[in-house]
Amino acid sequence: MTRKTSTLAAALTVLAFSFPAYAADPIKIGVLLPSSGVFAGLGGDQTLALEMGFDDFGREVAGRPIELIPADTESKPNSGLAQFKKLVFKDEVDIVVGIISSAVAGAVRDAAHNAKVPLIISNAGNNPLTGEQCSPWILRTSFSNSQIVREMGPWMAAKGYNNVFLMAFDYAAGHQMMDAFREGFVAAGGNIAGEEFPPLGETKDFGPYLAKVKAAKPDAAFVFFAGGPAIKFVKEWAAFGLKGEVTLAGAGWLNSALYVKKQGMDAEGALGILNYVPSIDTPENAAFQENFRAAHGRDGSEFGVAAYDSARLIVEALKATGGATDDKAALVAAMREVHFEGPRGPFRIDPMTNNVVQNIYIFEVQPQGDSVAAIVQDVIPDVQDPPKGCTL
């Protein structure tokens, strides 16, 4: 009996050591989002939705608990890079998800590429990140700047808008948005009535620029502003007497679900284009909005949906690898194979660019009771970016 017990114990010891070491270890996910700085509100919105995503899709895969490790970028490139390095080299995370600012994403790009740890960008839209500066280790679940607005130019031309004024802040995203709109609009026969690029962070009054719009007498203006400046711009547009005289259109963050109610009736009639609005009429979106409203007392936004879908992408890929994270290339390959129907519609990663392929929605801001909301007018399905120099 003693010999048999000894043999059995030895066998069990060998068997225990034959299982992979990761079987009981947590899967560490670094969450690289701002909790301070200019984009703290957007970081907070994504954090809420990311947590909800893991609650919905799973906080454990193959017996391994998923552990989220937050890191504050402070909305600054240097801080973002330092926090990325901390997550990868000190915390030894398996995946990093987040980044609101394109400037932070640009600062992190080379470090992520060299570290060969999967980085899922859940907001930053700078075109080169999935274009000429793409990396096999960087995927984007949100959008590229040109992907959002590219189809708006031909759509507006087809609707009879022949003369459009362009305006955005003078920085990379502003120019990328206007360039993408201009290219499609002019190719469809439209004319650019004028364009202005107010200084980012210095513009306190849009009046001088609105005067130029009024003087140009366009059919419409196409603009890109977000956050506090978007609220201010819409209110000044109405106060300047342009509402009802010139159609206001823009990249959809002009009337984001986060603050369109603050704009109120000043935003009525504005046209927008975006990858998500709360009024999308699908069971998946209805469920997402119901859960988000129950938890937080307000609509989920386009920022939240990108984070929510990021959680699902991670969980589905981990299931495909059986919870294994040692082979990072296999983990990225699994992410590229994930397809699902989410709140914004069909979701998949383009293996040619690592950018998301998604529906794009054109909406109008309309009265809803005593408030306003973005109501879908048209859907452009499965919009994806050309490689633009990307080689993976």
The pLDDT tens digits of the residues spanning 208-251 come to 999 999 999 999 999 999 989 999 999 999 999 999 999 999 99
Nearest to 31 by CA among 85, 113, 79, 87: 87
Distance CA 362, CA 250 (A): 10
Q: Are residues 206 and 268 in the same domain?
A: yes
Nearest to 251 by CA among 270, 278, 232: 270
pLDDT value for 15: 41
Is 70 exceeded by the pLDDT of residue 17?
A: no
> Does residue 290 form part of some domain?
yes
The pLDDT tens digits of the residues spanning 341-367 come to 999 999 999 999 999 999 999 999 999
Nearest to 262 by CA among 375, 361, 373: 373
Are 278 and 299 in contact by the 8 Å Cβ rule? The answer is yes
Distance CA 113, CA 94 (A): 14
Q: Are residues 151 and 269 in the same domain?
A: yes
More confident of the two residues 155 and 14: 155
Angle (CA) 88 302 42, round 5°: 55
Is 50 exceeded by the pLDDT of residue 1?
A: no
Domain boundary among 239, 274, 309: 274
Q: Are residues 44 and 156 in the same domain?
A: no
Q: Are residues 219 and 294 in the same domain?
A: no
Q: Are residues 128 and 157 in the same domain?
A: no
The CATH number covering residue 324 comes to 3.40.50.2300
Q: Are residues 249 and 306 in the same domain?
A: no
| Coil/strand/helix, residue 188 | coil
Q: What is the pTM of this model?
A: 0.91
Distance CA 317, CA 324 (A): 10
Is 80 exceeded by the pLDDT of residue 20?
A: no
The pLDDT tens digits of the residues spanning 180-218 come to 999 999 999 999 999 999 998 888 899 999 999 999 999
The residue segments making up the domain with residue 253 are 147-274
Q: Are residues 165 and 269 in the same domain?
A: yes
Distance CA 2, CA 56 (A): 50
Q: Are residues 183 and 286 in the same domain?
A: no
Q: Are residues 137 and 151 in the same domain?
A: no
> Does residue 382 form part of some domain?
no
> Does residue 112 form part of some domain?
yes
> Does residue 202 form part of some domain?
yes
Per-residue pLDDT band for 40 (boundaries 50, 70, 90) equals very high
Q: Are residues 128 and 172 in the same domain?
A: no
Q: Taking the CA of residue 7 as centre, how many other CA atoms within 13 Å lie in the half-sphere pointing to its CB?
A: 4
Domain boundary among 234, 251, 274: 274
More confident of the two residues 2 and 132: 132
The pLDDT tens digits of the residues spanning 73-128 come to 999 999 999 999 999 999 999 999 999 999 999 999 999 999 999 999 999 999 99
* Percent of the chain at pLDDT exceeding 90: 90
Is 70 exceeded by the pLDDT of residue 328?
A: yes
> Does residue 365 form part of some domain?
no
> Does residue 385 form part of some domain?
no
The encoded tokens of residue 263 equal: 């704009």
Please tell me the total count of domains within the chain.
Answer: 2
The pLDDT tens digits of the residues spanning 361-386 come to 999 999 999 999 999 999 999 999 99
pLDDT value for 23: 52
> Does residue 370 form part of some domain?
no
> Does residue 350 form part of some domain?
yes
Q: Are residues 300 and 341 in the same domain?
A: yes
- DSSP per-residue codes, 17-53: HHS-GGGSSPEEEEEE--SSSTTHHHHHHHHHHHHHH
Domain boundary among 253, 274, 295: 274
The pLDDT tens digits of the residues spanning 121-177 come to 999 999 999 999 999 999 999 999 999 999 999 999 999 999 999 999 999 999 999
Q: Are residues 65 and 120 in the same domain?
A: yes
Per-residue pLDDT band for 10 (boundaries 50, 70, 90) equals very low
Per-residue pLDDT band for 266 (boundaries 50, 70, 90) equals very high
Length in residues, the chain: 392
- DSSP per-residue codes, 39-101: THHHHHHHHHHHHHHHHHH-SEETTEEEEEEEE--TT-HHHHHHHHHIIIIIS--SEEEE---
